[in-house]
Amino acid sequence: MAPLKETDILLFVVDARNGITQTDFAIRDWIKKNVVSRSDLTPNTTTRDLVPEEGTGSLSGKIYVEKVLLVANKCDDGQTFDSENDLYQLGLGEPIFIAAESGEGMHELWKVIDEAVPVESIEWFKKRGKKRFARYKALRD
């Protein structure tokens, strides 16, 4: 769970071909219980204003992210699946449809990620993770 504490974006990837499973619903429930989008905070509140629960290092026991993205994978050749309507049942917003194997939809996913990641996170990443940032840019471009 520690890596999630420093996460800007949470990607919840589901298999569109197989439809939504009970495990997907269980993960959705966990996200709704434990993850708070910073956009849901009051306008003048930042995560710095929140005090970690004693001994946990966790902000109010929650994980704060800029955005939760629902990603439907295996959407090859513009196919639509019966699960498309199921995706909305998860209540995690508009899904982003991709086919990771062929790369379809990846441009849109990168665009949404780029828009959601705070500038300060990008700057931190550039300074401390030069190799990772170079890989990220290569994948994105």
Average pLDDT across the chain, whole number = 76
Domains of the chain: 2-140 (3.40.50)
- Whether the full predicted model's pTM is greater than 0.75, yes or no, is no
DSSP state of 137: H
Per-residue pLDDT at 61 exceeds 90: no
Q: What is the pLDDT of residues 104-133, one digit of tens each?
A: 999 899 889 888 887 777 777 677 766 666
Instruction: Give yes or no for a contact between 71 and 96, defined as CB atoms under 8 angstroms apart.
Output: yes
Q: CA angle at residue 47 from 45 to 53, to 5 degrees?
A: 115
